[in-house]
Structures are given as structure tokens and as C-alpha cells.
A and B are shown apart, each in its own frame.
Chain A
Amino acid sequence: MDVQPNPSKEFALSRSERDSAACAVGGILNEQGRTFDGSRILRMMANMHDRSNGLGGGFAAYGIYPEHKDLYAFHVMLDNAAAREAFEEFLRRYYEIETEEVIPTAPLREIRNRPILRRYFVSLRQRVLGEHYDLTEQDLVVRHVMQVNGNIKGAVVFSSGKNMGIFKGVGYPEDIGRFFRIEEYEGYLWISHGRFPTNTTGWWGGAHPFGLLDFAVVHNGEISSYGINRRYLANFGYHCTMHTDTEVVTYLFDMLLRKHGLGIEEACIALAPPFWDDIERMEPQKRELVKALRITYAGALLNGPFGVILGHTRGMIGFNDRIKLRPMYAARRGDEVFLASEEAAIREISPQLDSVWQADGGKPVICELKVPLAAPEKEPARA
């Protein structure tokens, strides 16, 4: 499939192939799977207001659609009625649509030029799966998302996971959060982003988090290896259509974790491997593994300054470039773990912390649920 870039006219003003950005990132996970609403991550991001410039903000929330937890929740930006028609025709071809609705928003003076925002709770038609003996259901969803984003003019699927959702757009993160009424959702994991793009005017599709299936990535920094990461991914059928370097991070995680079945630690080694001098000093079993990862996934190495948070169904990962050119704080309080660009943002919502530390360059901070996900408990109301 040859995917052409999709410079969606109404709200896409990307001039360069790749957008780079400084930014704020944050994340909160309740390790017991207890849910809480979006007001705290909103305060966290508001605290880091100056790290954004109003050209993009967004949130990913996990556990918010328990009533539809077995359905893919597609969040879609649509330029106009024609785009909606084209998208829905495409969608109906492959999916049963259980529910579709407008994503609820609150009118806000700060948020302008919004696209049509809709969500669809869908399941893949079995017939479609039967046509592809070599592809899994998730492979097909990935392929469809890429087809929409690459080929359907004016339509962007910006969230495609189950029981999770991404809310993003052009504006400061705290405004975007209020616009999407995130206080009304209950999730056990929230990650967020405030954007300071430097190469482009912001566009709604270019805001973070970037999502694919259950993965959501927020990213502070610039991927200087973007050119080769994008070409490397193309080898494996991933086509970058969003004009931003963060997209490659999302796809690389999807490929390494889901397709290649690597553990989180191994995936992070592939993306930000240790220096060769350090590899040489490792004990033999580890050395062989790390060396194999590094030479095999050379095209996946993420270079340049970045602090990334990856959200997934079972938790989140905080992750810096190899020489730590971007900030990333981690902290813990009881069952809650926090990641943020600044310690102050964490203290804003949890002044007392059991521990707080800076993530090392190239070494992931892995935050995972400690319980099975079957029946997440509702967190008791806070005083």
C-alpha cells in the first residue's frame, strides 16, 4: 500500500515533513488499577504552562470506557461532512459500529478552529479477518488506521485502542483538557502533553499523545534520527503520515512490543541502547543480547534529545535519550507513580512523596499495574 501524506487542509498547516518540539510531559498511574478523574493531570499540566506555547495539548486516559471495553474506540478528527462521509464509508466496510457519537466538548474561548470530533465504538467484521490469513486483528486495525490517515482527505483517526481514549488539539493542555471535559472521565492511567512546536504552526492531528491501538506516546524533544527511523519502519509496513517525529516512537513501540514480542526492557534497549564501551563490559549473556538488539535494531535507535512517556494498557514507561538531554522526573506516593518533566508538577498534585528521582539517560522507568485488569476498582473519593 502506497500511502501519500495527508495534508488535511482545514486544520493542518504543517510545512515541514517533520515537526520538532520542546514540551511538557506528565503521567499518573494507580498501580492497583483504581480509577480517578482527569482533574489531577490537568492541574499537573497547568503547573508546567510555560513549557507549552498554546499550539498543542492532549491527554490519554486508560480505563475510561468500561462499558465498551471489548470494542475499539476510534476517536476521529474530520474536516467536514465530506470527510466524515468518506471515513464512515471506509469504516462500515470493515467494522460493525456499535455506538457512534460526538465527543463531548465544552465551548471555550481559547479553543478555535476545531475539527468535527467524533468517536466510534467498533468491532472488526469477522469476514474481514477471514480474508487475511497472515494478519492478526490488531494488524488489520493498524493497517486501517494508516489507510485513513494517509488516504482519506480530512480524516484522522487519533485514538484506536480499547477501553482507552486520546483527547488532543491545538491549545494549552489545561484548555484542551477542559474543552474535552476530561474531569468527567475516570481512568487508572493518565498521560499528557503540552506542546511547544518550533517548526510548524500547530495542527490538531499533530498534537500529542500519538496513539496506535492501546499505545499512546507523549514526547518532549526532537528525534534527530527521524529520517532513518521512518525509512526503517516503512520496511515493516508502517507509514508515517502525521508529519511529526513522535509518530515514529509510537510505531516503533508497537512493532517491538506487539509484533516482535520483546519485553519492555528489551524494547527500550533497542530504542536507546547502551554505548558500545558499556556493552563490552557486560557479562556475556547480557552482552550477546544487547549487542544483537543494537545491531538488529540500528534503524530503530532514537537519537537526539527526548523524554518520552509511553502509555499502554498495563502501565507507562518514562524514557530518556541516551545522554539525557531532556528532563524526566519520577515519583511515588502509595499506590501512585508519577512521571513529569518537572518535579514541581508532581508536587502540585501530591506535595508529599515517598520518593522522587530523575530517570537516567537511556534507562526506562517502568511503571506497571500490580493487579490484573479484570475489574478495576473505583478509587474512594478524595477528601
Chain B
Amino acid sequence: MRRWLVQPEFKVERDPARCIQCQVCVRQCANDVHSYDEDDELVSSDGASCVGCHRCATLCPTGAIAIGRSQLDFKPNANWTPENIRNVYKQAEGGGVLLSSMGNDKPWRVYWDHLLLNAAQVTNPSIDPLREPMELVTYLGRKPDQVRVERGPDGKAKLATEIAPQLKLRTPIMFSAMSYGSISYNASRALAQAAAEAGTFANTGEGGLHTDFRPYASNMIVQVASGRFGVDPDYLNIAAAVEIKIGQGAKPGIGGHLPGEKVDAAISRTRMIPQGTDAISPAPHHDIYSIEDLLQLICAIKEATGHRKPVSVKIAAVHNVSAVASGAVRAGADIVAIDGLRGGTGAAPTTIRDNVGIPIELALAAVDSRLREEGIRNRASLVAAGSFRSAADVAKAIALGADAVYIGTAAAVAMGCHLCQRCYTGKCNWGIATQDPFLTKRLNPDVATRRLTNLLRGWSLEIKEMLGGMGVNAIESLRGNREHLRAVGLSDREMAILGVKPAGE
């Protein structure tokens, strides 16, 4: 038999003094790392297939399991890293495209970590959010250039400008597109429930809207992607908003592929495709080969929804992102969502995920500046996506110019994801990115809902603290206010693109 040259990434160590042979680990691991020998009445582990998801170690009642990096080191080489070598082995073996999941894990500069927020001292008082109102309410959608007022016979002022449909968010954080199919029914349900409870929105992704989630539709943004899965007039009209997915940060220029084995009866119904068939989203929309085609689709969706729903266009942050965003706004997008280099995915070619696109910080700043230069910033709201790890990241994005952010990875982590990056295997031990009923039942949707709403609450409280510290009491005073940001360790050119000054200036 040929030897598989790829050595394990992890090693699993079991402390025999602690292990009580209860076999929890055996049942919990979908990757068959742990096994029980009935003859010897002994649990043993083989780290070769361990993905490092910590499910076994977390659930082990006696803390007997330790998971570490494999000690088998290659000769140090700054160019041929162990990952490069292993990838060549894998491709020499299989001749295929290497897959990954979740967001880019390469050490590209994280600009959030080079930006610092401001606070008030003396000349303007900081405001205590526990004692004073602190407003995070955000409206997404097209805003008019100006408001016209007319006075009735009673002399009372009356609004004379028609305001385009808006999404009202209690906090400027939404759940990013994660399709039912890429994630489990329970995970989808938790996102929908949490969005409704927290007064924000969850995005269906391109997986359609399960009939069970219709009660939450007023807190859902439904996606129209290149595969058009699950799209019918009812789907468009029941939702709060419609999003046309052009691109995704983790895989700009690449379509999607849900393997047929995941397309069970429920997913088949929801996506409106035959059971067991692959759900393939083409790379482009085959009715959008240029900007005027996008305009037509936006118009078609607005017509189909009676102009009662904002239409969002989601694009990946690529080199000419500001031109693309400007085109989308002029084509009628009410919201432009930009997904950056570090945005997550259920499955993407590794080399695409790790090397295509630009960081969300630069893309967001460039788009916001461009739309302002063109005098059309008010025509669309900007939603930033692509790895927000904390409330501080969110606050910095808003200061750069985002109206709101999408969180995907953080939401998955809140539900228990350990970022093992193996969603594409469908063997998620945490019951999130899988359709295996044995695994999906591990995620209690109500517990997950609470964890998600807790996260939103915690981040919202932190954003309020930051706002109050800056001496402002409404999120719109931070939005696009780059005076409240200073850079550390960035080049002049980077600071110019971000529109921020260096710390000390």
C-alpha cells in the first residue's frame, strides 16, 4: 500500500490516569479519531484524522484529553512552509483543487489592529451610557438628498418627500449570509430567532427560506444568488429585504457547490431542486454580464416586490471595489454589502480564499470616500463584512464609513464553532456546518439563539461605552467620522486610503 505522505496536523493525548473509558469522545468525534476496543475495554485515539475542533476535549467529563500540534517538524524553511509542502503532497496524491472553509487564515495585515479609537477629555465631556440615552438605531436604505416639508392649513409641518423603504436595526450588526445547506437547520433557526429577538437581520444566503423560518421573515434578508435557489415571488415578498449576491470575500469570482449528498428532502424543498442533486451556483449570474444587467435585475426585484423592499447588492472586495460599488449604487442598489478578504465560507478553493481580494478596511474606506466624492453616498447604505472579531472592530468599521456590519464567523463561533476550517467535510462536530442528523441535534437552537443574542448585547453595550467615551450619543456621529480614528504603524499611503491621521497628530 502506498504511504500517505501527509502527516497529521494534530496529536491527541489521552491521560490514562484520568480516562474512565466512558466513550463520550468516541461518540462525539465524527472524524473517528477515538475508538473503543471492546475486547480490551479500552478507549484509544489516533490523531491522524483530528481536525482540532476540541469537541472531545470539551465534552470529556474528566479532562483526560489534550490536543496539540503535531511535533513532527520539517526542517525549518521560511519559503517552503509545512503547509506548502503538505499541500503539494495532497495535490500530488489527488490532482484536485484544495478546499478550505471559514475565512483567510494567512497573516495579511489586519488593519483594525493598527487603528485606535478616540475618547473625550475635559473640553467635551464623555457621556455615561448607563445614565444617558445612547443610540445605536440604524436605518439601512436609500436616503433622499433632502427632505421637503409642506404646511397644512393648520400650519403643521408635513413630510412631502417620499422616503424609500428602510431596514431598522436596533444595533448596527447583522448576521451574514449563511445558507441552510451550508449550515444546519438548527443553526439557521438560531440565527433567524436571534435576529428577530435582537431587532436586527439574518441573511438566508443562497439556500432559500425554510417554511419553518417564515415567522421570522420580517427579520430576514433573502439572497438571490447565481443559482437562484429557493427564489420565487413569495420568497422575495415575505422578506424584509432582498440581496443580490454578486460575490463573496472568501471566494471572489467563484461560484458555490453544495454536494448532492447534503441535499436531503428538506433542503431539496427549500432550494427547489431535486433531492440528491448537486446545488451549483455558477461563478457569474448568467443574466448579469455587465452593470446594465445588474440594473435590470435590481429593477425586476423591485417590481416583483412592489418597491416595498430595499435591495442590497453584495460584492467581494476586489481591486476596483469602489468602481463596482459606485456602479451598483447608480444601478439602484439601496444597500451595498462589501465582503472583505477575510470573510468566511462553507467551502472555497484554498488558494482563492487565501490570495484573492483585498482587506475590508481598505475596501470600505475606499468605497465610502468614492461615493462621497461622487455625491451619492446617501443613495445607498454600506454594510461591511469580512471578519469582525470584536465590538472594537465594529466601531472602527463604522468610523471608516460603514452603516452596519455583517458577522458570520463571529456568529458561528458564538454558537460553538472552533474554527477548525472543515465545514466542507460536512462533519461538523458542533452541529453547525453539517446536515448529519446525528450531529445537527447537538446544537440546541434555543441555546444557540441565546448565545447569539448575548453576543449582540455584549458588543452593543461595548459600542455604547466607546461612543459615550468619545462624547457622542448617537451612532450616526461615529459613522464615517474618521477624526475618531488614529493609525499606528501604517504607511502614509495606507493612511491616505483609510483617510486617517497617524496617532499623535
Contact = CB atoms under 8 A, between A and B. Distances in A.
Nearest to B118: A224
A348 interface: no
Interface string B126-160: 01000011010101000110111100000011110
B133 A275 contact: yes
B498 to A, nearest CB: 13
A325 B501 CA distance: 28
B477 interface: yes
A304 B147 contact: no
A50 to B, nearest CB: 16
User: Interface SS of chain B: helix, strand, loop or mixed?
Assistant: loop
B476 A301 contact: yes
Contact of A292 (B161, B476, B481): B161
Contacts of B123: 20-22, 198-199, 222
Given A263-B149, A285-B158, A303 B477 contact: yes
Interface string B102-142: 00000000000000000010111101000011010101000
Interface in B464-503: 470-474, 476-484, 501
Nearest to A197: B123
Contact of A235 (B122, B378, B476): B378
B124 A295 contact: no
Given A260-B147, A289-B158, A276 B135 contact: yes
Nearest to A306: B124
Interface in A239-269: 259-263, 265-266
Contacts, number: 129
Interface string A273-312: 0011100000001101101110111110101110000000
Contacts of A224: 120, 124, 470-472, 477
B375 interface: yes
Nearest to B131: A323
B377 interface: yes
A227 B147 contact: no
A235 B377 contact: yes
A226 interface: yes
A252 B375 CA distance: 16
Interface residues of A, number: 49
Contacts of B144: 292, 296
B133 A17 contact: no
Contact of A227 (B124, B158, B471, B480): B480
Nearest to B124: A222
Contacts of A295: 139, 143, 163, 166
B347 to A, nearest CB: 38
A289 B482 CA distance: 29
Q: Which has the most chain A C-beta neighbours within 10 Å: B124, B166, B481, B482?
A: B124
Contacts of A288: 159
Contacts of B157: 263, 265-266, 286, 289
B372 interface: yes
A228 interface: yes
A49 interface: no
Nearest to B133: A275
Given A276-B135, A292-B147, A231 B480 contact: yes
B481 A260 contact: no
A305 B120 CA distance: 11
B163 A292 contact: yes
Contact of B147 (A276, A285, A293): A293
Nearest to B136: A276
A252 B311 CA distance: 30
B481 A228 contact: yes
A297 B147 contact: yes
Interface string A213-238: 00000000110111110011011100
The 6 A-B residue pairs with the shortest CB-CB distance, nearest first, are A227-B483, A303-B477, A225-B477, A227-B481, A298-B476, A228-B481
14 contacts: A20-B123, A226-B481, A228-B477, A266-B149, A266-B157, A285-B156, A289-B149, A292-B159, A295-B163, A296-B378, A298-B479, A299-B476, A299-B479, A325-B124
Given A227-B480, A235-B375, A297-B147, 4 more contacts: A227-B482, A260-B146, A286-B156, A296-B163
